[in-house]
Amino acid sequence: MELDEALARRRSIRKYKRTPIPEDAVLRVLNAAHAGPSGANASPWRYVVVASAEMKRAIRQASEKVDSTWDAGMPQWFQSWLASQGITSDKGFLEDAPYLLVVFSDQTLPYSVESTWVSIGYALLAATQEGLGTLTYTPGDPGFLWTLLNLPERFVPQAILPLGIADEAPDLSRRLKRRLARLETVD
Ligand SMILES: Cc1cc2nc3c(=O)[nH]c(=O)nc-3n(C[C@H](O)[C@H](O)[C@H](O)COP(=O)(O)O)c2cc1C
């Protein structure tokens, strides 16, 4: 799949089949994430791969708990937007997707957050290229990930990316929100 097709096809997937996916595909997504540029070439990201049903359940339960409190404290416009997107505190995708990539940034390294998010972008596109669904999921208060995954606090949780076969078909006719027809430069 060419880059422009991956860009056009990538969508947030919040429903997954429980069908297993090949380990090779997951490896390619991880390798794409590791291929990104990083400030001072520090590669400050850490991807923890979760496949165990017990750990996925624990992550789901903790995420649902923190998100129900978090969402309730958000402004009304945000809550309305979540509802309009069908985003609820049910995070079933965290158990249904065969893999979760839990992404951390190492705060002892320079540009750790910025570089980690570049690598997340690479992972999202690579997953699309593999024909997999994925999502950028950011639990409201992700501190529970330190405890569950037993990581030192220098690794700051950034996102959870489920990887699996999509069980929903987003409307791909909805294109990039802003498409530039011509280049405008500043003088
Ligand atoms: C930084 C960031 C945080 C996000 N957090 C969440 C989240 O916690 N839950 C969720 O369902 N989607 C989350 N998303 C996905 C966005 O809602 C989604 O990308 C956006 O609505 C556009 O839809 P699309 O990805 O299908 O193009 C997040 C995306 C980004 C970039």
Give me the mean pLDDT over the 111-123 stretch. Answer: 98
**Residue 187 pLDDT class (50, 70, 90 cuts):** confident
- Model confidence over 130-144: pLDDT tens digits? 999 999 999 999 999
- Above pLDDT 90, what percent of the chain? 86
Q: How many domains does the chain have?
A: 1
pLDDT reported for residue 172: 86
* 93 touches ligand 1 (CB under 6 Å): no
- Tokens matching residue 34: 């590791």
pLDDT of 148 over the 90 cut? yes
Residue of 80, 138, 176 best suited for mutating to test ligand 1, as the one with most atoms within 8 Å of CB: 138
Yes or no: say if 139 and 104 are a contact pair by the CB < 8 Å rule.
no
pLDDT of 183 over the 80 cut? yes
Give me the mean pLDDT over the 51-76 stretch. Answer: 94
Atom of ligand 1 nearest to the CA of 117: 1
Amino acid at 55: M
**Residue 177 pLDDT class (50, 70, 90 cuts):** low
> Is position 102 within any domain?
yes
- Kindly give, in sequence order, each residue whose CB lies less than 8 Å from that of residue 83, ignoring residues fewer than 6 positions away: none
> Is position 69 within any domain?
no
pLDDT of 101 over the 70 cut? yes
**87 CA from centroid of ligand 1 (Å):** 10
Question: Which CATH number fits the domain that encloses residue 18?
Answer: 3.40.109.10
* 137 touches ligand 1 (CB under 6 Å): yes
Domain assignment of residue 121, given as a range: 3-59+92-164
> pTM for the complete prediction?
0.96
> β-pairing, 99-106 with 133-134?
unpaired
> Is position 32 within any domain?
yes
pLDDT reported for residue 96: 98
**Residue 176 pLDDT class (50, 70, 90 cuts):** low
Among positive and negative, which fits the CA dihedral 99, 162, 115, 144? negative
Average pLDDT taken over every residue of the chain: 95
Q: Taking Cα atoms as reference points, which of 28, 1, 10, 3 lies closest to residue 124?
A: 10
> Is position 151 within any domain?
yes
Query: Nearest-5° angle of CA 161, CA 96, CA 160?
Result: 15
> Is position 184 within any domain?
no
> Is position 85 within any domain?
no
Nearest CA to ligand 1 atom 27: 11
SS3 call for 131: coil
> Is position 111 within any domain?
yes
